[in-house]
Chain A
Amino acid sequence: MASFIDALTYSALLGLMGFGLTLIRRTTGVWNVAHGEVVTIGAYVALTATSFLSHSPYFFLPLAFIVCAAVSGIIFLAGIEPIRAKGASSMLLLVVTIAISLITIAAINIYADYLQNVFHLASKNFLFARFDFTLWGQMGILWSAWAALGALTVSYYLMLQHTRLGLALRALAEQPALAIVMGANVKALSFLSWCLAGGAAGLAGCLFPMRFQCHPGVGTSMIATMFAVSIFGGIEKMYGPLFAGLVLGFAQIYGIDLISSWIGPGVIPFKDLIPMIVLLLTLQFLPEGLSGFVGRRRG
């Protein structure tokens, strides 16, 4: 049961991380390698605020959302847009995100060192489980992670379907050239997408230490898993990461527990191979991902 709950929690967090990656790719055509670092920044916002203001990290979810949205927006305006404006390919933009990743890794580690050396905080390895509450016999992180992912997915879906802004974002994702001709402000829409994606990553980062150990490289180490969520879910629909997060989260935690009960515990350390295998199989046999596959079957 414990691993089932862990899998559910991990799935929601993966979904939140994959949501941002999918959104950026879908609207601006960029695979953001630096997305993992934005997740880590969310965790450090929570650590800083919790340490200095002595409240539960849940209080600081909006702050993490805002800070990470701002960071992601700045990444877009300062790093991506100037090069994209010169007609760079998606491949070149991916390289730009690697450069941004290097800068943010350095910044996060410098900040973690600073917190440790100046304020004597345990900033290299932290966990907020002691701050968590219990609801209906389960840890609050389970409910809050799913609430955050559900709220984000539903509100984004409603915005896409029922607002003019959503219509413009859909146009940008599906027919970018036509959207430009029709007068859509591509730069503003792309900026908005990056901010929303960063906000989602911030929520994931703020919630992650409630159940899992965090360190300066946590997002970096999970970037391949985030890619797996995004690609397996498919970039066609924004519910893709939600389902892909569920599948991968369960496969990585619950599935590996099941397999280890059959063939022994020696298999447990290799659970991180599962997202890689799923990613590679998806790229080979289902390149449009789950949501693309469902759309094709319906359509």
Chain B
Amino acid sequence: MGGQWLLFSVDLLALFGIYLALNLSLRLQLGYTGIANFGLVLAFTGGAYVGGWLPIRLGMWLVEVDPSLAEDMIWNNVIIASQVDLSLQGAPFTAMTILLLTLLAAGAAGALLGLLSGYPAVRLGGDYLAISLLAFGEVLAIIGNNYDPVVGGPLGVRIPDVWAWAGDWRFMAASLANCVLALGVWVYLNSVERSPLGRVLRAIRDNSDAAASLGKNVARIRLNVIVAGGIICGLAGAMYTLYTTGVAPSALSRFDWTFLPWVMVIFGGSGSNVGVLIGTFVFILVQKLIITYKFALSFLPFDPVWLQFLLMGLVLILVLNFRPSGLVTEKASYALGRREMAKAAGKEGL
């Protein structure tokens, strides 16, 4: 029982880290800049594909694996991944090298996908921008499902476990790494919050015409934000793949990686990092509980997993009706900290 709960908690932590990073990326785009990015899944999928494609090749290069297996990397991926796993169990440095190189490539892929999807979209207004990004989000799913060399087509691929060296602590290490990613994004957003950049982003969100009249290049700044968001999503996608040690295009759906983050962010409040954190935790917990206890509901004549969708939709409608700013509303942010403000006020004799 204790072991079950530990596994539950560790998996909860892992998903929480991934979703928090993804949701903070949405917070940067929607909450700060007013960009309704319905294509989060694009950069996330890009990162996940990099996570499915690169580690196995790096593994073959860095550790000793039967070279004849490379003739068909997709067909032999399970054997290659198993052989690489055996080597990585005693080679944490090699494993971390694979991890870092994969993250670098995934971040670059996310940035590129953000640029490609954002460039034509940023000049569009409101809901047209949203639909444009929604359409972009579908592109990689179509390619991944139909072009086997990427990640093995609809069946997907297994990848080497870069956490194999941690032994019994493998899941804990991977979960903590996911949370470190989320923490990094959190720190970055906090630094943006009080910076001149943060104020420019909020100005664009609140009145893009006014921001443009003050000399701000609105389209370019929006594009930069989409690219930054793309990097975060790409990293989250790669971390997810490295955690699950496999990737299949069908697991990277619009609902799981675009709409669910939207529900979490709207529920918690797109104007607050804390709100996003609460929204993420609540929904991941509910999702995990439904999946864990679905067998207790086996008397139902349908798959209880659908209750999660029902719940998500209802909660979103209720929040939009009665508290559109979410659980935690946006607070005014100041250029200086409290102490500096008090000091400045003292000097001014206020």
Contact = CB atoms under 8 A, between A and B. Distances in A.
Contacts of A91: 36, 126-127, 130
B136 interface: yes
A114 B303 CA distance: 9
Range of interface residues on B (Cβ < 8 Å): 35 or more
B316 A102 contact: yes
B276 interface: no
A280 B120 contact: yes
A99 B317 contact: yes
Nearest to A107: B310
A117 B302 contact: yes
Contacts of B320: 83, 88, 92, 95-96, 99
Given A31-B127, A106-B306, A106-B307, A279 B313 contact: no
Nearest to B307: A106
A83 B321 contact: yes
Contacts of B301: 113-114, 117-118
A286 interface: no
A64 to B, nearest CB: 22
Nearest to B126: A91
A249 B196 CA distance: 49
Interface in B95-119: none
B313 A95 contact: no
A164 B105 CA distance: 61
B173 interface: no
Nearest to B36: A91
Interface residues of A, number: 44
A284 B119 CA distance: 10
Given A106-B309, A224-B138, A99 B131 contact: no
Contacts of A176: none
Contact of B302 (A88, A96, A110, A279): A110
A90 B127 contact: yes
Interface stretch (A3-11, A38-46, A192-200, A268-276): A268-276
Contacts of B138: 224, 272, 276
Contacts of A31: 127, 130-131
B255 A102 contact: yes
Contacts of B263: 99, 102
A270 to B, nearest CB: 6
B310 A103 contact: yes
Given A92-B320, A98-B259, A102-B310, 11 more contacts: A88-B324, A91-B126, A96-B316, A101-B259, A102-B309, A104-B313, A106-B313, A113-B301, A113-B302, A279-B135, A280-B136
Interface of B: 36, 120-121, 124, 126-128, 130-132, 134-136, 138-139, 142-143, 145-147, 255, 259, 262-263, 266, 301-303, 306-310, 312-314, 316-317, 320-321, 324
23 contacts: A31-B131, A79-B317, A83-B321, A88-B324, A91-B127, A92-B320, A96-B317, A99-B317, A102-B255, A103-B310, A106-B306, A113-B301, A113-B303, A114-B302, A117-B301, A117-B302, A231-B128, A270-B142, A270-B146, A276-B138, A279-B132, A279-B135, A283-B132
